[in-house]
A = this chain, B = another copy of it.
């Protein structure tokens, strides 16, 4: 794919428009026509650059997550989690939470979206997480055989989904800090 034809600025602009549409109308109602209209580009260009709607959406989501978690290395696991939270502001968290709600449903009905998300977003994110956790194991903070090591993403996704559902409150730094200290770190024995 000749992705070089778009400037990085144009690409970012396009991805931002896709995410806005995703939050406004959801995945099912998001059409390539709507993306073309919103971004003043042709559908032919969109298909040439991204191949399909699931791939365009997955790449837009990936571009929205620019920071590489594996770079975070403060010297303690608690510090690394703090740093992850610092990198995202409350407004961005609410937006991520909205996307997660919409996508958890959509991926179930759209295997192509699920595959694209897994390859382009979920696996790179998991790898970054695993690197952070691996360093904690090497420092001796976490036991290498602790079964919670594989369940950290599940705990965090729970915080994002359950907070608005149960308490009707947005997910923010204050809540996630409490959650990390009360749930994630104790389950890892930290």
Contacts and interface: CB of A to CB of B under 8 A. Distances in A.
Nearest to A181: B147
Interface in A23-58: 26
B157 A104 contact: no
Interface stretch (A68-76, A79-87, A158-166): A158-166
Most chain B beta carbons < 10 A, residue from A164, A168, A178, A183 = A183
Interface string A111-153: 0001000100010001000000000000000000011100101
A91 interface: no
* Integer count of this chain's copies in the complex: 2
SS of A interface (majority): helix
Contacts of A98: 108
A66 interface: no
A174 interface: no
Interface of A: 26, 98, 101-102, 104-105, 107-108, 114, 118, 122, 126, 146-148, 151, 153-159, 161-166, 168, 178-179, 181-183, 186-187, 189
